[in-house]
Amino acid sequence: MTFPYDQARLQALIDDVDARTTAAVQVAQQAAQYQPRSRGVSEQDLAAIERYARGGNAPKEFKDLQQRIDSGEFSWKDIAAGRVMDEGVQKALATGVPDLQRAYTAIQEGQDIEDVIASGNPEAQRPPRQDDDDEDDGPSHFRQDAW
């Protein structure tokens, strides 16, 4: 009995599968070597956290944490590095979880990330986008084929 496919075509298909498999293995090896480099928490980030903790909008847990830092018990850098993770630190950090959940849900729903960030930070005033048009009086761009 003979094979119903042309041998040359079959060999071309096998070669294609082999080439794709080799390429996939190479990509997997490259991906395994990738190590993301976190920039970590900068001094500016720590200063922003401290300003927030001292601000009027900070929850009580954050204010309590700032008092402990002010007393010299530890620093924001210690917290960021994970050297301090007692119950008080955990409570303070947990106060942001509902906001993070809302942000995650908004992003999953397709909302613009910049809008989500701005909605969580009243100090960040985002300039209106050029394509934003609150009035519903038709298209803002007319094309020849739209007539």
> pLDDT tier at 95 (50, 70, 90 boundaries)?
confident
More confident call, 100 vs 51 = 51
Helix, strand and coil in the chain, % to nearest 5: 60, 0, 40
pTM, whole model, 2 decimals?
0.47
- Where does residue 82 fall: left (phi above 0), alpha (psi -120 to 50 degrees), or beta otherwise? left
Query: Do residues 78 and 84 make contact, with C-beta atoms less than 8 angstroms apart?
Result: yes
pLDDT at 125: 45
Lowest mean pLDDT among 25-34, 57-66, 68-77, 97-106: 97-106
